[in-house]
Amino acid sequence: MRQLLATAFLAASLAAAPVSAERRSDEHSYAEPDKVRIADIGLNLRIDFEQRVLRGRADLRLDWQDPKHRQLVLDTRDLNIERVLGKSGDGGWRRLDFELAEADPVFGSKLTIRMARQYELVRVRYRTSPEASGLQWLTPEMTAGKQHPFMFSQSQAIHARSWVPLQDTPSVRFTYSARISTPPQLMALMSADNDPNAARTGDYVFRMPQPIPSYLLAIAAGDLVFRPISARAGVWAEPVMVEAAADEFADTERMIQVAESLYGPYRWERYDLLILPPSFPFGGMENPRLSFITPTVIVGDRSLTGLIAHELAHSWSGNLVTNASWKDIWLNEGFTTYVENRIVEAVYGVERARMERVIRRTGLLAELQRLEPAQQLLVLAPMPGEDPDEALSSVPYAKGAWFLEFLEQRFGRELFDPFLRGWFDAHAFRSVTSDDFIAYLREHLIKKKPRAVTEAELQAWLHQPGVPESAPDTVSERFAAIDRARARWLEGRLAAREIATGDWSSLEWVHFLEGLPETLPANQLIELDEAFRFTNTANGEIAMRWYPLTVRSGYFEARPAIAAFLKKIGRRKLIMPIYEALAQSPEGLEFARQVFAEARPGYHPITTGAVEALFARAAQALSE
């Protein structure tokens, strides 16, 4: 059945390009933005750590699109709606009728608010669930400092609806303000105008004057202190890790300057980083003004700061110019990954940029072997009923960036750089579709050099699976040297300790490990481990590659370290390959379940769901 669906999706995608109205429609939201749109949200919330809930109200200022329409449809998930009121002008608040539909397991409950006339302001009093999918609550023991609790949000893709009733679609942008109450010993932050000099009072006020989509709405509270990097950039983190974070990310201001030189001014005023506990499910989240960052990239040599370049790049692609629906996610992540690599090249040099491209493309090619053809397209068909979290892969990131690198090569940077800057300027603070980009590409780039690309090449990149033959290649001299050394070691002509690894960064180690066979004999694993101390590594990029190799090879000596790593880290990218390797055998699956049972309290709901789904698939496969 799945293959039939994939074939149907592929056929639909290879047909004539859909019209913009179809691309703009968001099948992952109940909202009706063609009838009414939220223009501004005013939040007044209290963070209750004891009950693990937010409680308060959301004031929604509305922009009515249809003068005859008399209802507001909002997205919610597990919200307790207590009361809904409406107000116009200087009039008083009036109670409004509302209906909360039965919950869908993916999309939550549609909240329909009916009114006799169009109100300018609608107030929803509510509280969240302790199991809200977009919030994670940590006890003091789960934090770095072990003294105070911690809470943070993760709204992408459709988790904002679990902590705010709103139109949870990237096609709707709104400004917002908030008043947040916390225990007085904690600092609250949001994707808004955080004050680096704010005192801890337990009462915090925020304003986001630039319009953002719902998935960029963010909140956090904990034992947080600030360290400046520059006049407009700095780091928020728990006291025990703030100095290391500020040092690791000291190049942030330089990155901002490089991005501005290429793609225009930074339009969000400040750019700060919030370093979250290890349970954060992603590498980073590009919440405007305050990127959420995993501590797993703090490795001491700034070799993983491409992540910061990536989250910063979102300030242009994604935050400034947003995909109107999740089927056009490549407009967000592909552009961001391309911009990230340009920033890395300017700050750290051409060779490092090449190494990162090679690693990214290697990962893409491996993943394409497992994906259905319909999932390999940049311009995806509609995904009704699918959770956009589960549909995400490296395709929009790596293939999307590769496509832009193809265009750069064909047209030259002298044409392509101004074109991309023009795209950001022309569509600033707007939500766009693939159709919008293709039209802009034809008008503002292809017309200037009509023979640079063929129509068949464009169609292959946008609407066909796999990587087109026209894809430009990248060669890294440093990686080539590693390939030669690895081959000599595998052939027994070089001892592991004789490999010249003294100046290797995380990138070189990643490439070395990725080039090893699927399995190795015990003597070679022992030799590697004795030479390089891979087991018990503090570097997650190494761990996520070494531990699956040990599992596949039956190197049980690594099992205690695997358990410790999985209990400490909640970043999905780093732990899912290990769980996947373990789940391939009945014995490994049982071990994975035992570890997960202990690790689960420290995992984000998104991570928990991903691991549970993996176990279910693995159990079914093993029983067949």
418 inside domain: yes
| Residue 411 identity (one-letter amino acid) | F
What is the average per-residue pLDDT within 326-332?
97
Residue 55 is predicted with a pLDDT of 98
pLDDT band at 21, cuts 50/70/90?
low
Q: Other C-beta atoms within 10 Å of 419: how many?
A: 18
**269 phi-psi bin (left φ>0, alpha ψ -120 to 50, beta other):** left
Same domain, 501 and 556: yes
What is the average per-residue pLDDT within 112-132?
97
Alpha carbon dihedral 78, 130, 597, 539, in 10-degree steps, equals 100
Q: Does the structure show a pLDDT above 60 at 14? A: no
CA dihedral over 360, 366, 370, 372, signed as positive or negative: positive
277 inside domain: no
604 is an annotated ligand-binding site residue: no
Which residue shows structure tokens 């501590």? 295
145 is an annotated ligand-binding site residue: no
What is the average per-residue pLDDT within 475-486?
96
Q: Does the structure show a pLDDT above 90 at 606? A: no
Cα 305 from Cα 312, distance rounded (Å)? 11
Q: Which two tokens stand for residue 84?
A: 């809904």
Q: Which two tokens stand for residue 178?
A: 């908030």
Same domain, 577 and 603: yes
Mean pLDDT of the chain: 94
Indicate the range of 17-31, 410-424, 509-523 predicted with least confidence. 17-31
Q: Does the structure show a pLDDT above 50 at 373? A: yes
Same domain, 341 and 433: yes
Cα 518 from Cα 220, distance rounded (Å)? 41
Same domain, 440 and 495: no
> In 3D, which of 196, 209, 202 has the Cα closest to residue 237?
196
Residue 531 is predicted with a pLDDT of 97
Percent residues over pLDDT 70 in the chain:
97
pLDDT band at 23, cuts 50/70/90?
confident
Same domain, 352 and 457: yes
Residues 6+ apart with CB under 8 A from 460: 468, 469, 470
Alpha carbon dihedral 374, 376, 379, 380, in 10-degree steps, equals 40
pLDDT band at 418, cuts 50/70/90?
very high
Q: Does the structure show a pLDDT above 80 at 46? A: yes
231 inside domain: no
What is the average per-residue pLDDT within 456-484?
97
Percent residues over pLDDT 90 in the chain:
91
Q: Which two tokens stand for residue 81?
A: 């709606």
- SS3 string, 583-623, reads CCCHHHHHHHHHHHHHHHHHCCHHHHHHHHHHHHHHHHHHH
261 inside domain: no
Cα 139 from Cα 145, distance rounded (Å)? 11
Q: Does the structure show a pLDDT above 70 at 484? A: yes
CATH number of residue 375's parent domain:
1.10.390.10
541 inside domain: yes
Residue 281 is predicted with a pLDDT of 85
573 is an annotated ligand-binding site residue: yes
Annotated catalytic residues are: 311, 397
* Domain count across the chain: 3
71 is an annotated ligand-binding site residue: no
333 is an annotated ligand-binding site residue: yes
Distance, first Cα to last Cα, the chain:
17
The secondary structure of residue 104, as a DSSP letter, is B
Same domain, 37 and 163: yes
CA dihedral over 455, 458, 464, 467, signed as positive or negative: positive
521 inside domain: yes
Q: Does the structure show a pLDDT above 70 at 175? A: yes
CATH number of residue 40's parent domain:
2.60.40.1730
Range of the domain at 147: 28-221
CA angle 26, 28, 32 (to 5 degrees): 55
Residue 390 is predicted with a pLDDT of 76
CATH number of residue 504's parent domain:
1.25.40.320
Q: Does the structure show a pLDDT above 70 at 563? A: yes
Q: Does the structure show a pLDDT above 50 at 10? A: no
Cα 172 from Cα 37, distance rounded (Å)? 7
284 inside domain: no
Same domain, 450 and 485: no
Q: Give the domain-ending residue among 438, 463, 488.
A: 463
**107 phi-psi bin (left φ>0, alpha ψ -120 to 50, beta other):** alpha
What is the average per-residue pLDDT within 85-104?
96
Same domain, 457 and 483: no
> In 3D, which of 196, 192, 246, 243 has the Cα closest to residue 220?
192
The secondary structure of residue 415, as a DSSP letter, is H
Indicate the range of 170-174, 330-334, 392-396 predicted with least confidence. 392-396
Which residue shows structure tokens 């006020």? 205
Residue 209 CB-half CA count within 13 A = 6
Which residue shows structure tokens 């010993």? 185
Same domain, 41 and 126: yes
What is the average per-residue pLDDT within 179-199?
97
286 is an annotated ligand-binding site residue: yes
Residue 22 is predicted with a pLDDT of 72
What is the average per-residue pLDDT within 334-362?
97
Same domain, 367 and 484: no
- Could you report the per-residue pLDDT of 212-237, keeping only the tens digit for each? 999 999 999 999 999 999 999 999 99
What is the average per-residue pLDDT within 253-282?
95
155 is an annotated ligand-binding site residue: yes
Q: Give the domain-ending residue among 176, 205, 221.
A: 221
DSSP 278-340: TT-SSSEE--TTEEEE-GGG--SSSTTTHHHHHHHHTTTBTTTEEESSGGGTHHHHHHHHHHH
Q: Give the domain-ending residue among 221, 252, 271.
A: 221
450 is an annotated ligand-binding site residue: no
Residue 4 is predicted with a pLDDT of 31
47 inside domain: yes
What is the average per-residue pLDDT within 274-280?
91
Same domain, 427 and 531: no
283 is an annotated ligand-binding site residue: yes
Residue 90 is predicted with a pLDDT of 87
Same domain, 357 and 402: yes
156 is an annotated ligand-binding site residue: yes
